[in-house]
Structure 1
Amino acid sequence: MIPNVSVMLRVLLLLCVCIAMAEAKYKIYKDPKQPVSVRVEDLLHRMTLVEKIGKMVQIDRTNITAKKGSLSTRLGIPMIYGIDTVHGHNNVYKATIFPHNVGLGATRDPALVKRIGAATALEVRATGIPYAFTPCIAACRDPRWGRTKVVACAKHFVGDGGTTKGINENNTVIDWQGLLKFHMLAYLDSIRKGVATIMVFYSSWNGKKMHANYDLVTKYLKGTLGFKGFVISDWQGIDRITSPPHANYTYSVQTAIHAGLGMVRTLL
Structure 2
Amino acid sequence: MYVGIVAQRDNEQAVSLAAELVGTLEADDLTTTLDTATAGALDRPGVDVNEMAECDLVVSIGGDGTFLYAARGAGSTPIMGINLGEVGFLNAIAPADAIEAVTAEVEQLRETGRARSREIPRLRASNGDWSLEPAINEIAFQGPQRGHGNGADFTVRVDDEVYTTGHADGVLVSTPTGSTAYNLSEGGPLVHPSIEAIVLTEMCPTDSMPSLAVDIDSTVSVSVSGAEEAFVVSDGRTRERIDPPATVTVSTAEVPVRIAGGSVDYFEALKKLE
TM-score (norm 2): 0.24
TM-score (norm 1): 0.24
Question: Which structure has more RCO (C-alpha within 8 Å, separation ≥ 6)?
Answer: 2
User: Which structure has greater strand proportion?
Assistant: 2
Which of these two proteins has the greater Rg computed from alpha carbons? 1
